[in-house]
Amino acid sequence: MNSHAPNIRPVIRQLDDAAINRIAAGEVVERPASAVKELVENAIDAGAKRISIDVADGGKTLIRVTDDGCGISADDLPLALSRHATSKIDGSDLLNIHTFGFRGEALPSLGAVGRLTITSRVPGEGAAEISVAGGEIGAVKPAALNSGTVITLRDLFYATPARLKFLRTDRAEAQAITDVVKRLAMAEPFIRFELRDVSNDPRTVFRAEAQSGDVVAALKGRLRDVLGGDFTDNAIAIDAERDGLHLTGFAALPTYSRGAAVAQFLYVNGRPVKDKLLTGALRAAYFDFLSRDRHPAAALFVDCDPQLVDVNVHPAKSEVRFRDPGVARGLIVSGLRHALAEAGHRASTTVAGATLGAMRPEPTEPRVYQMDRPSLGPRAPIDTGFAEMAQDFSAQVVETPQPMSNSEEASTDLPLGVARGQVHENYIVAQTATGMVIVDQHAAHERLVYEKLKRQMAENGVAAQALLIPEIVSLSAGDCARLLEISDDLARFGLGIEAFGGDAIAVRETPAILGEVDAKAMIHDILDELADLGSSQSVQAKVEAILSRVACHGSIRSGRRMHAEEMNALLREMEATPHSGQCNHGRPTYVELKLADIERLFGRT
Ligand code: ADP
Ligand code: MG
């Protein structure tokens, strides 16, 4: 109960339009950037090919959006300003929406909290203008304009001083506007966008010329303009489909990851969304490729029949609801994984070349080690001073493999050579007859476990190891059912589970080959994998995918120190195992440098 509730009997009143619009504005227009978003979306809906946005003082004093779209006729101007008036739907089918707008709320809301003027002209008629300030609508007047629409919004929130107080600095608000414009521009490569700051000396903040050609090329060109060539050079085109949902766009290679989720742009039917389901799927797709503190970069577009997705969930329309969220998630996870795996495989043939290229001294430019740049791998060198480096090394000195008396001979006939040491607790450096190899121990081990699991599976099932105390994993009833349905298959590869009440399962056995595992994490991974695979996959494909997942759990994670014998055993096992040159995700497990390459590095040839 409100602490200062009056003792008098409350009276129920009908609020007037101005108050209603101010309340609506609270949801639709949070800050200047949201006003810009509404106005630019209206221009796109109007079929504009050129859109310019002028702002002053972070949009607080002026926002002006000019477009060359279809225009509004003089007769319709008052209607455009009245609440729930829209030309975009007739209200009969809220699940059949092809435009950004449909709620008819933006213009009346903006007119309730700022001074708004619409000047517009439809072909074949004279231009006209209407103004509204603090909810007071003026008369329609003739105006001068060649074509299209100009919407001017001054003194946003002057009518609601409380909201004004919550705005951030001009700079921060201007930055938010730039982000909004770029986000919209990325999805509309055929429209020209220009954003200017006219606070003092007018200057262009962002400009993207209209692209031409086919959609993929146009999109790539636009992404280059907005995100930079670094992104497009390191990104792969995505094109996948599942159950009526179509996924396109560009996703960056794992090596081009970011320190925060700042380069993730997701769109549903052209609408920029910030949706947990979709960002979660993006994360899941890169899960095996990136460490926890790195974030993938991608611009992804999900397109589908509007009936399959509800956009009327949020007043600012930044969230959506898919009719079948599992399909959307699965599409993103599998679409990206496939594309990345293929790219990884392709890249692996040039790894040594890339390594050499990266290692060769560059006399002109100093080398910048920056995590946000494409680097050699997910674990880029850390920028530490020499003093710290020296300390690090002394702290981490690895037990050097005992030189074996016959090591020279041995190295001649061993393709992967003899281990000479381990660096950064994940890379084994070995000497071969003709050069050296660097092995990613985690990737290699994962592959070996996977191959072994497959072999055992093909023979007479994977040996299981009974847990002393069964591990109880709580799950949703649906997930329990999904797992129990395939419990026979799971048993074949050494994972013994049974029902434990309605919403938990008991894990009784795990694959012996994996040693001690985190049964709970493994169960969750298997469920993820099942969700990603969807219903379309064959049982065989499912089993392989699950095996590959399970293999990760038995792998020597990076960060484990190994003894000489262990390292050499790993090398010998790799030589004896088919497909060991690449890990389960298509990345290489080792890189070989020939002596000649090394000599070239030092300018000896
Ligand atoms: P909505 O976009 O949800 O329809 P708005 O309040 O944003 O609601 O706009 C109301 C109406 O005004 C639109 O339906 C459209 O007919 C018209 N309109 C707004 N902006 C423009 C524009 N830039 N060009 C042409 N028509 C516009
Ligand atoms: Mg609108």
Query: What confidence tens digit (pLDDT) does each residue in 453-489 have?
Result: 878 877 877 888 888 889 999 988 888 888 888 888 8
Residue 133 has pLDDT above 60, yes or no: yes
From the CA of 50, how far away is ligand 1's center (Å)?
Answer: 17
- Residues 138-144: what's their mean pLDDT? 96
Give the tokens for residue 70. 């279809």
Measured from the alpha carbon of residue 112, the closest ligand is 1
From the CA of 79, how far away is ligand 1's center (Å)?
Answer: 10
Task: Give one word for 244, left, alpha or beta, with left for phi > 0 and alpha for psi -120 to 50.
Answer: left
Across 373-382, 430-439, 457-466, least confident range: 373-382
Which range in 129-133, 273-277, 395-399, 498-502 is most confidently predicted, on average pLDDT? 129-133
Give the C-alpha separation, 428 to 451, whole Å.
21
From the CA of 88, how far away is ligand 2's center (Å)?
Answer: 9
pLDDT of residue 573: 87
Give the tokens for residue 486. 């395939």
**CB distance 149 to 98 below 8 Å:** no
Distance set, CA 278 to CA 85, 288, 304, 413 (Å): 32, 17, 15, 50
**CB distance 532 to 333 below 8 Å:** yes
Q: Ligand 1: which residue has its CA nearest to atom 2?
A: 101
Cα R_g (the chain), whole angstroms? 30
Across 290-299, 318-327, 441-450, least confident range: 290-299
Q: Ligand 1: which residue has its CA nearest to atom 17?
A: 80
- Counting beta carbons within 10 angstroms of the beta carbon of residue 398, is it exposed (0 to 12), middle (13 to 18) or buried (19 or more)? middle
Give the C-alpha separation, 315 to 513, whole Å.
53
Measured from the alpha carbon of residue 108, the closest ligand is 1
Across 254-268, 351-365, 477-491, 492-506, least confident range: 351-365
- Residues 277-294: what's their mean pLDDT? 79
Ligand 1, CB within 6 Å, residue ranges: 38, 42-43, 46, 67, 69-72, 80, 86-88, 101-107, 149
pLDDT tens readout for residues 313-363: 777 777 888 988 888 998 999 899 888 777 653 443 334 555 555 554 433
Determine the atom of ligand 1 nearest the C-alpha atom of 43: 23
**CB distance 35 to 171 below 8 Å:** no
pLDDT tens readout for residues 96-130: 777 888 778 899 999 988 999 999 999 999 999 99
Give the C-alpha separation, 75 to 165, whole Å.
37
From the CA of 71, how far away is ligand 1's center (Å)?
Answer: 9
Sequence-distant (≥ 6) Cβ neighbours of residue 3 within 8 angstroms: none
User: Alpha-carbon torsion 26, 269, 295, 323, what sign?
Assistant: positive
Identity at 21, one-letter amino acid code? N
- Residues 139-157: what's their mean pLDDT? 96
**Among candidates 275, 269, 274, which has minimal Cα distance to 248?**
269
**CB distance 92 to 106 below 8 Å:** no
User: Alpha-carbon torsion 490, 492, 494, 500, what sign?
Assistant: positive
Cα–chain-centroid distance for residue 213? 26
DSSP per residue, 134-145? TTEE---EE---
Residue 383 has pLDDT above 60, yes or no: no
From the CA of 80, how far away is ligand 1's center (Å)?
Answer: 6
Which range in 228-237, 312-321, 389-398, 444-453 is most confidently predicted, on average pLDDT? 228-237
Determine the atom of ligand 1 nearest the C-alpha atom of 102: 3
Give the tokens for residue 579. 């497909």
- Residues 270-288: what's their mean pLDDT? 87
pLDDT of residue 353: 53
Determine the atom of ligand 1 nearest the C-alpha atom of 148: 24
Residue 179 has pLDDT above 90, yes or no: yes
Choose which residue among 37, 42, 84, 113 to substitute to test ligand 1 binding: the one with the highest number of ligand atoms within 8 A of its C-beta: 42
Which residue is listed with tokens 């949703």? Answer: 476
pLDDT of residue 269: 92
- Residues 12-39: what's their mean pLDDT? 84
Give the C-alpha separation, 566 to 577, whole Å.
16
Determine the atom of ligand 1 nearest the C-alpha atom of 85: 10
Give the burial string for 315-333 (b: 16+ CB within 10 Å, else e).
Answer: bebebbebeebebbbbbbb
Q: Ligand 1: which residue has its CA nearest to atom 19?
A: 42
- Mean pLDDT over all residues of the chain? 81
Give the tokens for residue 404. 């074996």
Choose which residue among 27, 45, 73, 147 to substitute to test ligand 1 binding: the one with the highest number of ligand atoms within 8 A of its C-beta: 45
From the CA of 100, how far away is ligand 2's center (Å)?
Answer: 7
pLDDT of residue 264: 93
Higher pLDDT: 503 or 146? It is 146
pLDDT tens readout for residues 221-239: 999 999 988 888 888 999 9
Choose which residue among 41, 102, 107 to substitute to test ligand 1 binding: the one with the highest number of ligand atoms within 8 A of its C-beta: 107
Identity at 509, one-letter amino acid code? E
pLDDT tens readout for residues 28-86: 788 999 999 999 999 999 999 999 999 999 999 999 999 999 999 999 999 999 877 88
From the CA of 246, how far away is ligand 2's center (Å)?
Answer: 26
From the CA of 127, how far away is ligand 1's center (Å)?
Answer: 16
Give the C-alpha separation, 5 to 146, whole Å.
56
pLDDT of residue 265: 95
Higher pLDDT: 589 or 553? It is 589
Measured from the alpha carbon of residue 102, the closest ligand is 1
Q: Ligand 1: which residue has its CA nearest to atom 8?
A: 104
Q: Ligand 1: which residue has its CA nearest to atom 7?
A: 106
Backbone φ and ψ for 34, nearest 5 degrees, come out as -70, -30
- pLDDT band per the 50, 70, 90 thresholds, residue 424: confident
Task: Give one word for 425, left, alpha or beta, with left for phi > 0 and alpha for psi -120 to 50.
Answer: left
Can you point out the beta strands (E) in 376-515?
Answer: 418-423, 427-431, 435-440, 464-474, 496-499, 504-511
pLDDT of residue 144: 95
Among residues of the chain, what percentage have pLDDT more than 90?
36
pLDDT of residue 402: 46
- Residues 133-148: what's their mean pLDDT? 92
Give the C-alpha separation, 553 to 547, whole Å.
10
Higher pLDDT: 8 or 247? It is 247
pLDDT of residue 132: 94
From the CA of 82, how far away is ligand 2's center (Å)?
Answer: 12
Q: Which residues pair with 241 in a beta bridge?
A: 246
pLDDT of residue 351: 46
Across 243-247, 395-399, 400-404, least confident range: 395-399
From the CA of 99, how far away is ligand 2's center (Å)?
Answer: 9
- Residues 438-445: what's their mean pLDDT? 87
pLDDT of residue 7: 65
Determine the atom of ligand 1 nearest the C-alpha atom of 86: 14
HEC string of 481-548 equals HHHHHCHHHHHHCCCEEEECCCCEEEEEEEEHHHCCCCHHHHHHHHHHHHHHHCCCCCHHHHHHHHHH
pLDDT of residue 284: 85
Higher pLDDT: 392 or 122? It is 122
Residue 205 has pLDDT above 60, yes or no: yes
From the CA of 215, how far away is ligand 1's center (Å)?
Answer: 27
pLDDT of residue 6: 57
- pLDDT band per the 50, 70, 90 thresholds, residue 579: low
Residue 516 has pLDDT above 70, yes or no: yes
pLDDT of residue 369: 26
Higher pLDDT: 175 or 585? It is 175
pLDDT of residue 20: 79
Q: How is residue 582 annotated by DSSP?
A: B
- pLDDT band per the 50, 70, 90 thresholds, residue 207: very high
Higher pLDDT: 405 or 499? It is 499
Higher pLDDT: 13 or 558? It is 13
Q: Ligand 1: which residue has its CA nearest to atom 25?
A: 71
- Residues 257-263: what's their mean pLDDT? 78
- pLDDT band per the 50, 70, 90 thresholds, residue 156: very high
**CB distance 142 to 132 below 8 Å:** no
Determine the atom of ligand 1 nearest the C-alpha atom of 69: 24
DSSP per residue, 192-236? EEEEEE-SSS-EEEEEEPPP-SSHHHHHHHHHHHHH-HHHHHTEE
**CB distance 51 to 188 below 8 Å:** no
